Structure 1
Amino acid sequence: MPSSNRGGETPGGGGSHADGRRVHDHEQPRRPFNFRRRHRSALEWAAAVLFTVLAVVVLVGAVSILVVVLLLQPRAPYVAVRAASLDRLVYDQLGALDDVQISLRVEARNDNAHSAATFSRLECQLAFSGATLVVLRADTFRVPARGALPLAYVAHAQGAPLGNVGSAAMQAALRDGVVPFGVEGEARTRWKVAGLVTINQWTRLACQIRFFWPNGTALAFKCSSKSKFLFF
């Protein structure tokens, strides 16, 4: 009997050790914790959140601007020449204008329904064939909402030299009976959108006005600094 018990223990004990070794062989070794990878993942997540927030802010801003444009319909103030006449023209055949006088009716206009506009540094130049004859200016003034302010000018110049090119152009104009004068102007405007956002911008015009001579009436013309685009 004692001999039988030892024999039974030996197979059983060997089996027990063998099972323990199999379990140990199938265990996977633990991988070390990768701090760099986790830190990189956190940065990527933060960047994604930041870009999402920025996209939302831009979208909200764009929608707000669209709502303001649709509801308030802001318009940039502008200046325009509404009428003109050539009152006097004396050319001496020696390359100079002895006497020239042009009457202009300039209008400063503000089509905004909710904001007055301030015009400053208004200046208009009259020229012939590139030679400046007269510079017209105005002090700072204010135009109410949906209002206009007419400005009457009488441009007068004497002894203005034209040079060879200008003289040839004047002789051709007098021969044809139509004398063209160039008008260039600008003004700085200040106004508000929705009563909150202040807009400061320049408005500029450049055109040519042609006059019959000797009667001095102007041919049909358009001379305005109004832009086709909002705010410009």
Structure 2
Amino acid sequence: MHSKTSTRSHRLPLQRKLDHNTHPLIWLLAIICTIIAIAVVIAGIVVFIGYLVIHPRVPVISVTNAHLDLLRNDYAGLMETQVTIVVRAQNGNAKAHATFAGIRFNLTFDGQDIAMLVANPFDVPKNSSRDLNYVVQSSSIPLTPDQVEEINQAWKQNEIAFDLKGDARTQWRVGPMGSVKFFCHLNCRLRFHPLNGTYIPSRCTSKSK
């Protein structure tokens, strides 16, 4: 007798592919993000084009005048001084106001701190300037023997120098979409005739970046 071996064919159930429909909120978020990205790009282009159209001179800070009102030193190695310094904030932009802020300039003699010159934020109109008048007073500044000798030589040669170093921030508004910012750095040597206090004119203008 022949026995029949029955074979069963096992068929896997058909899997239906799920139809993944994108939720409308996801599409909405994608559209919003795209609009924001385009707006940012357009705003950047507007600021850049506005800056090219204005094509202004960079804001600068400079020392336009000064005077050595007082210089006195004694045998104890103490120095007293008073210096008048006129600092000018210049806005050469004919189409936008400029804001000057963070002004801090340190006046020193041979590395010895004398005073810090500061100012509150202020605006300078289009194509205009504003002068800051500082009267710097200091008394009883202790000097090293080398500094005392330097002052003695200054009296003999009728020339003495002070260093003025510091920074300021400037900003232009370019339309309603943005602004252009600069960083001004001032590093000058102010020279005087101590016998009469007159200022020896020299170029003292900030560098911007």
Normalised by the length of structure 1, the TM-score is 0.65
More strand by share: 2
Cα distance, 1:67 vs structure 2: 6.3
Contact kept, 8 Å, 2:47 with 2:174, in 1: the verdict is no
Match status 1:213 vs 2:194: yes
Letter in 2 for 1:214: L
Runs of 4+ with >3 A deviation: 63-71, 193-197
Report Cα offsets for 1:27-78 as digits up to 9, x if no partner.
xxxxxxxxxxxxxxxxxxxxxxxxxxxxxxxxxxxx9999656532123212
Q: 1:72 aligns with which of 43, 54, 78?
A: 54
The sequence identity of aligned pairs, in percent, is 32
Distance in 2 (CA, whole Å) between partners of 1:194 and 1:103 is 38
Cα distance, 1:127 vs structure 2: 0.9
State the match for 1:169 in structure 2. 150
Change (3 A) 1:211 1:103: same
Cα distance, 1:202 vs structure 2: 1.9
State the match for 2:170 in structure 1. 189
Secondary structure at the aligned position of 1:158 is classed as: strand
User: How many residues are aligned here?
Assistant: 168
More helix by share: 1
Letter in 1 for 2:145: N
Contact kept, 8 Å, 2:65 with 2:201, in 1: the verdict is no
Match status 1:126 vs 2:103: no
Match status 1:146 vs 2:121: no
Report Cα offsets for 1:77-108 as digits up to 9, x if no partner.
121110000011111133220x2111111111
State the match for 1:179 in structure 2. 160
Secondary structure at the aligned position of 1:171 is classed as: helix
1:7-18 to 2 correspondences below 5 Å: none
Distance in 2 (CA, whole Å) between partners of 1:133 and 1:163 is 14
Indicate the RMSD between aligned Cα atoms, in angstroms. Answer: 2.5
State the match for 1:85 in structure 2. 67
Normalised by the length of structure 2, the TM-score is 0.71
Structure number, greater radius of gyration: 1
Letter in 2 for 1:165: D
Secondary structure at the aligned position of 1:142 is classed as: strand
Distance in 2 (CA, whole Å) between partners of 1:93 and 1:82 is 34
State the match for 2:206 in structure 1. 225
Distance in 1 (CA, whole Å) between partners of 2:197 and 2:191 is 9
Match status 1:106 vs 2:83: no
Distance in 1 (CA, whole Å) between partners of 2:76 and 2:58 is 45
Secondary structure at the aligned position of 1:103 is classed as: strand
1:22-41 to 2 correspondences below 5 Å: none
Cα distance, 1:210 vs structure 2: 0.9
Distance in 1 (CA, whole Å) between partners of 2:146 and 2:169 is 33
